[in-house]
Structure 1
Amino acid sequence: MNHEHFQEQVKNIYRAVKELESMFPDRPFTPDGHMVGSLGECLVADAYQLELMPPSNKGYDALTKEGRKVEIKATQAKSVAFRSCPEHTIIIKINKNGTFKEYFNGPGEIIWQHFEGKKKPSNGQFQISLTRVSELSAMVPKASRVPRST
């Protein structure tokens, strides 16, 4: 895959959003939902050389070359949501220039422990802030992270 071309296409999405918002200042055109999830999965798969699974695969989005199951969480907000404990998770925030910032890369149990003792929300999704995720990321040894290739 051509990394630069891919990033340019992501930039084009955000350029279009900016243009639409300038045309209709009282309407937000923020990409969200499936688009952000798919963009994040593709950005991470590209950057970490992961094999993407089919969409809506239960429990994980990609595999490492060694077969580790990776749940990818992408956001443009200040938090992410979990339904279950992933084997491994990479959490990112997508930048408008086609890049991303990694907030967490490690065993899912580190995140999941944060929810221990809490009542499961009615929608079945526990929320965790990127601030807290960053704090938990400091607990992850380098050897437990999926190495980034680009």
Structure 2
Amino acid sequence: MKEEIQQQISDALGQLFDAVSKLQLAYPGKPFTPDGRLVGDIGEVIASLNYRITLNEGLTKHHDAVADDGRLVQIKTTFSDHLTFPVHHVPDYYIGIRLQADGSFEEIYNGPGQLIFDQLVNRKPTRTGLHGGLMSMLKRINKDVPDAERIPQR
């Protein structure tokens, strides 16, 4: 079942990026970058297929899923180098992934939200309510997250 869903996602992403390429050819001045809610939803589904989590129904505040052991998880996804972290709350656990056009992904961070917050404590709040520009920091601190503090993969 997992392989079938992953193949459907891969096929759909291929069609999406084919459409993006056509739009970019038609109007080269615009990037037509897939972003926002669509990317988040795709990332949540891919995370649910690869980590021991169950997604929350619909849109929920602060957390997107519950791990099999009950830990609450926020999932952030990008196709580029732009992962964000909330300014006004600290998610219990945070999974940040970078998707590829074929549906594969790179885990950027998997661990407690508090570890990220501790790195951002002196950053000024933004108007958007999200800290950005975190890719290198997330990769760096991800190396030190103990296995027991990670959300297990399936």
Q: TM-score, length-normalised on structure 1?
A: 0.89
Once the 2 structures are TM-superposed, how far is the Cα of residue 54 of structure 1 from its aligned partner?
A: 2.7
Across the aligned residues of Structure 1 and Structure 2, the Cα RMSD in angstroms comes to 1.7
Q: TM-score, length-normalised on structure 2?
A: 0.87
Residues 20 and 123 of structure 1, relative CA distance in 2, 3 Å threshold? closer
Once the 2 structures are TM-superposed, how far is the Cα of residue 96 of structure 1 from its aligned partner?
A: 1.1
Matched, 1:42 2:57: no
Query: 82-91 vs 46-55, which deviates more?
Result: 46-55
Question: For 1:1-150, what aligned pairs fall within 5 Å after superposition?
Answer: 1=1, 2=4, 3-83=6-86, 84-149=89-154
- Whether the 8 Å contact between 1:70 and 1:86 is mirrored in structure 2 is yes
Could you report, residue by residue, the CA deviation over 1:84-120 in whole angstroms, capped at 9, with x for unpaired residues?
2111111011111111111001111111111113332
Matched-pair identity in %: 30
Which ranges of structure 2 fall in alignment gaps of 5 or more residues?
Answer: none
Provide the C-alpha distance between the structure 1 equivalents of 2:132 and 2:32, rounded to a whole number of angstroms.
23
Residues 32 and 47 of structure 1, relative CA distance in 2, 3 Å threshold? same
Which ranges of structure 1 fall in alignment gaps of 5 or more residues?
Answer: none
Query: 71-80 vs 120-129, which deviates more?
Result: 120-129
Determine helix, strand or coil for the equivalent of 1:20: helix
- Whether the 8 Å contact between 1:88 and 1:108 is mirrored in structure 2 is yes
Equivalenced residues, count: 149
Could you report, residue by residue, the CA deviation over 1:113-133 in whole angstroms, capped at 9, with x for unpaired residues?
111133322332222421111
Provide the C-alpha distance between the structure 2 equivalents of 1:143 and 1:56, rounded to a whole number of angstroms.
28
* Runs of 4 or more consecutive aligned structure 1 residues displaced over 4 Å after TM superposition: none
Provide the C-alpha distance between the structure 2 equivalents of 1:75 and 1:64, rounded to a whole number of angstroms.
21
